[in-house]
C-alpha cells in the first residue's frame, strides 16, 4: 500500500513532531520558581520575540488556573446534585403547567369553592323545582275540580245551582284559603236572585211575566258565572303551561349543575393526584436544593481555603531589552575598575608600615640620619655580597 505525501497520518506525525520541538524549546528557556518566604510562583521566560513570550506565559497561567479548578471540582458530587435538582425542578414546572391546563380546559379557578357553590345551587334549584311541582299539582287538582263543578253548573237548574269561590292554596297546610272575590260577588248576587225567585214562585205561577223575567235574569247571571269560571279555567291552564315550562327549565338547569358538579369532581380528583405528585416533587426539589447549597457552600469554602490562586501580574511586552547596551557596560566597567583600584591603593597605603622619607627615622625612632643611600640596581651578582658587607659594617 502506497501513501501519498499528503496522507493524514503523516501530516499528524509532522504536526506532533513540531509541537514536541516547540515544547522542548520553551522548556529550555522557561524558569518556574517560588519567591522565598511566600506562596508566589514566579514564571520567567526568555525569548527573542517579545510577543511570543508574552503569549506563552499568559496562556501557561490561564491553563494552570483552569486545570486546577477542574481538578478541585471533580472531587465533589455537586454536578450530580445539580442534575437531580434540575430534574425535579423541571418536574415541578411540568406538573404546574398540567394543573394550569386542566383548570383552563374546564374553566375552573378554585375547585372546592366552585364545587360547594354548585352543590348549593343544585339544592336551591331542587327546592324551587319541588315547589313548582307542588304548585302545578295543586293547579291541576284545582283545574279538575273546577271543570267538574263547571259541568255540574251547566246542567244544574236555575233555582238551585251554585259554585264554590274559596279554594285551598299554597298555604293549605296552615289551614288558610284564598277567595276569588269576583266569583264570590257573582255567586252572592245569584244567591239573592235565587231567593227572590223562590219567593216569587210562592206567589206567582211559573208562566207569569215576573217569573219569566227573573228566570231570564238568572239565566243571564248563570251564563255570566260560566263565562267567569271558563276564564278562571283558561287562566289556570296557562299558568300550568308556564309551570310546566318553568319546571322544564329548572330540570335543565339542575341537570347542567349536576353535570358541572360531575366535571368538578373529576377535576378535583385529578387535581388531588397532581397535588400529590407536585408535593412529592417539591419536597424532593427542596431536599436536593438544600443538599446542593450545602455542598456548594462547602466547596466554595474549600476553594477559598485551598485554591485561592490568582494571577498577580500578567506578562507584558518589555519596552527595552533585558541586557543593557554595550556602551553602558563599558562605562560601568571603567567606573568599577577605578573604584577597585582606588580602594586597593588606599588599603595598601593604610597597612604599609615602612619608612619612605629620612625625616621619618628621626621623628619616629629618635635616631639622627648620618647618610642617605640612593636606591640602585647592582650591575652584577658579584657586587651583592660586597655591598651587603659594607652595609653590615656601616
Summarised one tens digit per residue, pLDDT across range 112-140 is 888 888 889 999 999 999 999 998 898 88
Does 67 lie in the same domain as 186? no
Distance, in Å, from the CA atom of 239 to the CA atom of 146, rounded to the nearest integer, reads 15
> What length is written for the chain?
394
Pair (147, 278) in one structural domain: yes
* Residue 42 or 114, more confident: 114
In this prediction, residues 160-179 reach a mean pLDDT of: 58
Mark whether 113 and 221 lie in a shared domain.
yes
Same domain, residue pair 221 and 116: yes
Predicted local confidence at residue 301, as pLDDT: 66
Give yes or no: residues 186 and 281 share one domain.
Answer: yes
What is the pairing mode between strands 166-168 and 41-45? unpaired
SS3 of 323, please? coil
Say yes or no: 340 and 384 in one domain: yes
Segments forming the whole domain that contains residue 160:
105-306
Q: Report yes or no on 258 lying in a domain.
A: yes
pLDDT over threshold 80, residue 7: no
Give the position of cell 500578567. Answer: 314
3-class secondary structure, 33: strand
Answer yes or no: do 171 and 297 share one domain: yes
Question: What does the alpha-carbon distance between residue 266 and residue 256 come to, in Å, rounded to a whole number?
Answer: 15
* Domain limit, last residue, from 275, 306, 337: 306
Residue 138, all three cell numbers? 295543586
Any idea what DSSP says for residue 168?
A: E
| Residues 205 and 56 both lie in one domain | no
Residue-level pLDDT at 335: 92
pLDDT at 106: 82
How far apart are alpha carbons 107 and 112 in whole angstroms? 13
User: Is the same domain home to 166 and 50?
Assistant: no
pTM, two decimal places: 0.47
Angle (CA) 379-381-384 rounded to 5° is 90
Whether residue 377 has pLDDT greater than 70 = no
In a domain, 276, yes or no: yes
Mean pLDDT of the chain: 77
In a domain, 99, yes or no: no
Q: Are residues 109 and 143 in the same domain?
A: yes
How many distinct helices (H) and strands (E) make up the chain?
Answer: 9, 4
- For CA atoms 322, 326, 328, 329, the dihedral sign is positive
Inter-residue contact 102 to 261 (CB < 8 Å): no
Report the alpha-carbon distance of residue 141 to residue 147 in Å, rounded.
Answer: 10
pLDDT of residue 49: 75
Binned at pLDDT 50, 70 and 90, residue 380 comes out as low
Per-residue confidence (pLDDT) for residue 196, from 0 to 100: 80
Q: Is residue 98 part of a domain?
A: no
Q: Is residue 318 part of a domain?
A: no
- Encode pLDDT of 231-264 as tens digits: 888 988 999 999 999 999 999 999 998 998 888 8
87 inside domain: no
Distance CA 238, CA 379 (A): 178
**Separation between Cα atoms, residue 78 and residue 298, nearest integer Å:** 10
Q: Which residue, 265, 245, 267, 315, is CA-closest to 99?
A: 267
**Strand partners for 377:** none
pLDDT digit string, tens, across residues 70-106: 766 555 567 777 788 888 888 888 888 888 888 888 8
159 and 289, same structural domain? yes
Question: Is 13 contained in some domain?
Answer: yes
- What three-state secondary structure class fits 134? helix
Strands (DSSP E) contained in the chain are 30-34, 41-45, 166-168, 177-179
- How far lies 186's CA from each of 79, 153, 163, 183, 316, in Å? 101, 14, 10, 5, 126
Q: Sorting pLDDT into bands at 50, 70 and 90, what band is 379?
A: low
311 part of a folded domain:
no
146 shares a domain with 114 = yes
**What integer pLDDT is reported at residue 387 of this predicted model?**
45
The separation between CA 104 and the C-alpha centre of its own chain, rounded to angstroms, equals 21
Sign of CA dihedral 145, 151, 154, 156: negative
Q: Tell me, rounded to whole angstroms, the distance of Cα 143 from its chain centroid.
A: 70
Residue that finishes a domain, picked among 277, 306, 335: 306
Q: Which of 252, 272, 306 is the last residue of a domain?
A: 306
SS3 letters for 198-217? Answer: HHHHHHCCCCCHHHHHHHHH
Domain count, the chain: 3
Q: Residue 59: its pLDDT value, please? A: 82
Amino acid at each position: 500500500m502506497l501513501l501519498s505525501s499528503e496522507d493524514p497520518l503523516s501530516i499528524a506525525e509532522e504536526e506532533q513532531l513540531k509541537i514536541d520541538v516547540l515544547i522542548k524549546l520553551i522548556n529550555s528557556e522557561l524558569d518556574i520558581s517560588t519567591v522565598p518566604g511566600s506562596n508566589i510562583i514566579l514564571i520567567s521566560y526568555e525569548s527573542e520575540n517579545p510577543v511570543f513570550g508574552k503569549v506563552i506565559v499568559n496562556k501557561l497561567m490561564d491553563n494552570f488556573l483552569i486545570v486546577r479548578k477542574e481538578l478541585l471540582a471533580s472531587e465533589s458530587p455537586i454536578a450530580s446534585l445539580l442534575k437531580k435538582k434540575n430534574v425535579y425542578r423541571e418536574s415541578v414546572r411540568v406538573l404546574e403547567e398540567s394543573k394550569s391546563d386542566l383548570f383552563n380546559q374546564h374553566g375552573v379557578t378554585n375547585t372546592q369553592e366552585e364545587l360547594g357553590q354548585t352543590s348549593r345551587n343544585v339544592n336551591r334549584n331542587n327546592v324551587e323545582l319541588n315547589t313548582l311541582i307542588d304548585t302545578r299539582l295543586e293547579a291541576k287538582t284545582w283545574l279538575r275540580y273546577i271543570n267538574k263543578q263547571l259541568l255540574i253548573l251547566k246542567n244544574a237548574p236555575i233555582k238551585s245551582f251554585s259554585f264554590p269561590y274559596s279554594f285551598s292554596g299554597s298555604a293549605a297546610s296552615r289551614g288558610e284559603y284564598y277567595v276569588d272575590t269576583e266569583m264570590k260577588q257573582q255567586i252572592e248576587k245569584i244567591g239573592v236572585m235565587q231567593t227572590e225567585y223562590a219567593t216569587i214562585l210562592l206567589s206567582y205561577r211559573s208562566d207569569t211575566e215576573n217569573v219569566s223575567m227573573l228566570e231570564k235574569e238568572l239565566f243571564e247571571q248563570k251564563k255570566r258565572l260560566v263565562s267567569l269560571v271558563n276564564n278562571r279555567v283558561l287562566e289556570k291552564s296557562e299558568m300550568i303551561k308556564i309551570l310546566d315550562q318553568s319546571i322544564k327549565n329548572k330540570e335543565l338547569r339542575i341537570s347542567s349543575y349536576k353535570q358541572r358538579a360531575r366535571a368538578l369532581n373529576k377535576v378535583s380528583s385529578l387535581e388531588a393526584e397532581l397535588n400529590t405528585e407536585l408535593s412529592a416533587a417539591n419536597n424532593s426539589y427542596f431536599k436536593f436544593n438544600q443538599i446542593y447549597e450545602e455542598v456548594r457552600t462547602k466547596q466554595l469554602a474549600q476553594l477559598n481555603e485551598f485554591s485561592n490562586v490568582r494571577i498577580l501580574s500578567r506578562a507584558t511586552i518589555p519596552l527595552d531589552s533585558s541586557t543593557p547596551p554595550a556602551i553602558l557596560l563599558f562605562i560601568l566597567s571603567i567606573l568599577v575598575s577605578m573604584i577597585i583600584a582606588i580602594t586597593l591603593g588606599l588599603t595598601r597605603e593604610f597597612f604599609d608600615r615602612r619608612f619612605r622619607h629620612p625625616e621619618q627615622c628621626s621623628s619616629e625612632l629618635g635616631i639622627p640620619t648620618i647618610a642617605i643611600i640612593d636606591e640602585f640596581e647592582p650591575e652584577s651578582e658579584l657586587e651583592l655580597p660586597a655591598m651587603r658587607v659594607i652595609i653590615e659594617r656601616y
